[in-house]
Every structure is written in C-alpha cells, then in structure tokens.
C-alpha cells in the first residue's frame, strides 16, 4: 500500500494530465498513460498506432523514468507486481481525480 501511495503522490505532484477539464478526458488519460507506463516498466513491446498512443507514450515515458529514478524498490518487483502496482495507482487516481472530485464541471453535457 505504501508503494501505491508513493507513486500516486509522485503523479499528483508532477503530472498535469490527471486534471483535464472533463471526467471522460481524465479517465482516458489515466487509463492510457498508466497502461503505457506499465508496459514501459515491464519492457513490453509498445505499438504506437494512433496519435493518442503517441501522446500517452510521451507522458508515460517521463513518468516511468521518474518512478525508476525515485523509487528503487521498483526493481524488486516482477512483471505481475508492476502490473498490480499500476492497476492500484490507476484505481486510486480515478477515485481522487474523477469520483471524489468536487468539480461540478467535470460532467456538464454542454461541452
């Protein structure tokens, strides 16, 4: 749990992509960037097909480098441990940035 909170705190301090103006944008960014981050950290093959893939990759590459630099315990995790961590962080970010958010504009249909 402590590791999950460390990564979440790092993202909250350094990553603006979690604060897009609509809930669906936030969900899409969190899902795309965190999934891509997990692939980078695990050394998986990455296919950059769409412009969105490329955008997620650029943010994920930065995030993965920061996690590796600031959290040496990451190298103790196997692939399934990394995926578990990433999924936990993803859920936590969705809770904080979407579900728990008090920003009423997140779900306005006029935009």
The pLDDT assigned to 97 comes to: 82
The pLDDT assigned to 16 comes to: 72
The pLDDT assigned to 92 comes to: 94
Task: Report helix, strand or coil for 43.
Answer: coil
Predicted confidence pLDDT, tens digits, the chain (111 residues): 799 999 999 998 988 766 666 776 888 999 999 999 999 999 999 999 999 999 999 999 999 999 999 999 999 999 999 999 999 999 999 988 877 655 656 555 665
Say if residues 38 and 82 touch (Cβ distance below 8 Å).
Answer: yes
Angle between helices 79-94 and 23-42 (to 10 degrees): 170
The pLDDT assigned to 56 comes to: 95
């Amino acid at each position: 749990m402590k590791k999950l909170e460390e990564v979440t705190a790092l993202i909250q301090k350094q990553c603006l992509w979690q604060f897009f103006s609509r809930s669906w944008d936030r969900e899409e960014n969190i899902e795309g960037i965190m999934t891509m981050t997990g692939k980078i950290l695990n050394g998986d093959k990455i296919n950059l097909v769409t412009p969105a893939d490329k955008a997620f990759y650029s943010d994920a590459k930065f995030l993965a480098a920061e996690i590796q630099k600031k959290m040496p315990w990451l190298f103790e995790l196997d692939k399934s441990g990394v995926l578990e961590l990433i999924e936990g962080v993803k859920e936590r970010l969705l809770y904080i940035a979407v579900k728990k958010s008090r920003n009423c504009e997140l779900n306005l249909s006029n935009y």
